[in-house]
Amino acid sequence: MNRRTFLSSSLALSALASRSPAAAGSPPRDVRPDPAATAWESPELRQLGAWDIHAHPGPAGPNPAKRMEALIRIADRVGVERVCICMSPPWQYEPTPEQFRRSNDDVLAILKEWSSRVFGLVYLNPKYTRESLDELERCVADGPMIGIKLWVGTRANAPQLDPIVQRAAELDALILQHTWIKQRGKGNLPHESTPMELAALSARHPGVPIVCGHTGGGDWALGIRAIRARPELYADLGGGDPVYGEVEMAVRELGASRVLYGSDINGRSFGSQLGRVLGADISLADKKLILRENLRRLLMPALRRKGYKA
Amino acid sequence: MDRRAFLNTAAIAAATTSLARGATPAAPATPVELIDTNVHLSHWAVRRGWADTPARLVEKLRRHGVTSAWTGSFEGVLHTDISGVNTRLAESCAREGGGLLLAFGTVNPTFPDWEEDLRRCHEVHRMPGIRVYPNYHGYALDDSRFARLLELAAQRRLLVQIPLLLEDDRSHNPVLTAPYLQPAPLADVLPKIPGARVMLLNAGARVLAGNPALLTRLVRAGVWFEHATLEGVAGLEALFGRAPEVRVAFGSHSPYFYFEAALLKLQESVLTPEQLAAVRHGHARAALNIA
């Protein structure tokens, strides 16, 4: 998809929305009796329409768009309005350029059908710096995607990330960097990043917003501490068990405006990841920021570039 | 729990005697019934849960429609005075449980005279079941002591709940690690002990969602499950698609997990009325069939 075709399709949001289970920008509808009605603190929250920073297309289905359709139907059940997707399967820890291009082709195919509900993050491996920069041009500068996903191919503090971060900033593309702390870091994959390494990258690029994927995972208490001093780093809540205390600590230490709802579907469930926000002992206003407004604000520069009116 | 509350529970269970092993419970007489099979009192050693007191636990569970919560004590995992833990648990549930908290005491079959703990759970505290924590107490499920425990529990018609893990084993505190409990031996042990009833807690990722062959063996052996750690998009719906005979009850792993996470999984999946009723209370009632 070139830039012109993308702009044509994205500007025709209303037409796309009519093919979607829920209209873009309006709350998803589900007419079943709600067995989880009490989970929503207020009707306002139930109708809010969450924006999800961290999602992956499902593996089952005849083509990428059909896989996404199945996912969107499930998102509608639990009030998720928009999802940022990346990394269509199969996944490789250290993808070659050919492999990450093929994965991104799937996401591009999804965006042709689902740009009213889905935002795309281009999957890169900074080990292949030149090819990653080329792919960034193809999918973001000249294509419909609005951000970057970095997984476990290269550690976040590696110098190969610098030109990618610089170009992302020029394009207003939001970066989502996976992080985890396994067995206090000893159990991480060879090139799997920690929040501490992401903080080091951020220090080299002040002012560039980056999302700390999973915020360290199960050891989120260390992850939150690691990114606390870097105001450009945002905490993605998704991907770990819904352990009480993470949201409360993130809001207390980072401020609610630096905390983002993410699900990490398909591996996780929407419900378990929404539940941690809805059940948190924080204010209703903070929940609204986390579930929707923070991500909307972060993505707005890129969306405006693409002609979105969200 | 006082005797009256216990007898009420027993009566409910007796009413479900027709729910034979493997059968799907019928739609409920009371559609709002919700049994949470996976709750603990006190705090886990390295985390503060959302309920500092039993009163707070009861208030929130009740607000979300929970009608019964099967409640163990995190103290049972690491304390050695287990009889004291169980007495405090029973007293807290009776005094502050508001008729909602159903105590499940801890038994550690590696301790001297553990049979007395089992007897007290049944005869003194009138508990309908017990919890064991093999990975923290140092034995596997093919251990002869565990088989003996199952036999005695079966004789007393006690349900045995077994958490496979309590927290993500990738994020253990280095001085408080426990291996993931391998449930596979249950598939061989359980059928050999007539009347034994076992419910696995926190079995989501590595059994319900991640190991269909093992799940099939455990289902055939008559094991019950709960859904606190069941993940994946529309996880319950997908699980019933893969294994229609699986007997999975509602479980929240509260207050370690946010309760709302468990509740929203019911909304995320499209279930038949029968499946929904089975998850909300049918399988739990069948597992507590003490008549």
- For A52-75, b where at least 16 C-beta lie within 10 A, e where not — what string? bbbbbbbeeeeebbebbbbbbbbb
Given an 8 Å threshold on Cβ–Cβ distance, is B259 in contact with A240? no
Beta bridge partners of B130: B105, B160
Contacts of A32 in chain B (CB under 8 A): 270
Instruction: Give the pLDDT score at A32.
Output: 57
d(CA A194, CA A220): 11
pLDDT at A137 over 80: yes
d(CA A109, CA A107): 5
Contacts for B231 with CB less than 8 Å, ≥ 6 apart = A267, A268, A269, A272, B204, B205, B209
Q: Would you tell me which residues 154-173 of chain B have a C-beta closer than 8 angstroms to some C-beta of chain A? A: 167-168, 170-172
| Reported confidence tier of residue A310, pLDDT bands at 50, 70, 90 | low
| Reported confidence tier of residue A41, pLDDT bands at 50, 70, 90 | confident
d(CA A35, CA B277): 11
Calculate mean pLDDT across residues A44-52.
95
Please give the mean pLDDT across all residues of chain A. Answer: 90
B230 touching chain A per CB within 8 A: yes
pLDDT at A66 over 50: yes
For B234-282, write each residue's pLDDT tens digit.
999 999 999 999 999 999 999 999 999 999 999 999 999 999 999 999 9
Contacts of A180 in chain B (CB under 8 A): 170
| Residue in A219, A245, A271 closest to B261 by CB | A271
Instruction: Give the pLDDT score at B32.
Output: 81
Instruction: Give the pLDDT score at A59.
Output: 73
Instruction: Give the pLDDT score at A27.
Output: 42
Give residue for tokens 């099939």: B216
pLDDT at A127 over 80: yes
The amino acid occupying position A249 is M
Using a CB–CB cut-off of 8 Å, the residues of A that contact B are: 30, 32, 34-36, 38-39, 58, 71, 74, 77-78, 180-184, 187, 217-219, 240-245, 265-276, 278-281
Given an 8 Å threshold on Cβ–Cβ distance, is A272 in contact with B265? yes
Give residue for tokens 């923070």: A294
The CA distance from B56 to the nearest CA of chain A, in Å, is 13
Question: Which long-range CB contacts under 8 A does B56-59 form with residues at least 24 apart?
Answer: B57/B101, B57/B254, B57/B255, B58/B96, B58/B97, B58/B98, B58/B100, B58/B101
First-to-last C-alpha distance (Å) of chain A: 21
Strand intervals (E) in chain A = 50-55, 80-85, 118-124, 147-150, 174-178, 210-213, 233-236, 259-260
For A80-90, write each residue's pLDDT tens digit.
999 999 999 99
The CA distance from A151 to the nearest CA of chain B, in Å, is 18
Contacts of A21 in chain B (CB under 8 A): none
Q: Quick one: CA torsion of B152, B155, B158, B160, rounded to 10 degrees?
A: 40
Q: pLDDT under 70 in chain B at which residues? A: 1-31, 290-291
Q: Are strands A80-85 and A118-124 parallel, antiparallel or unpaired?
A: parallel
User: A71: closest CA among A121, A11, A20?
Assistant: A20
Instruction: Give the pLDDT score at A126.
Output: 98
| Reported confidence tier of residue A28, pLDDT bands at 50, 70, 90 | very low
Angle at B228 between CA B224 and CA B231, to 5 degrees: 105
Instruction: Give the pLDDT score at B51.
Output: 96
For B3-20, write each residue's pLDDT tens digit.
333 333 333 333 333 333
Instruction: Give the pLDDT score at B90.
Output: 98
d(CA A56, CA A52): 11
pLDDT at A61 over 90: no
Q: What is the DSSP letter of A293?
A: I
Q: Dihedrals φ, ψ of B73, to 5°?
A: -130, 130
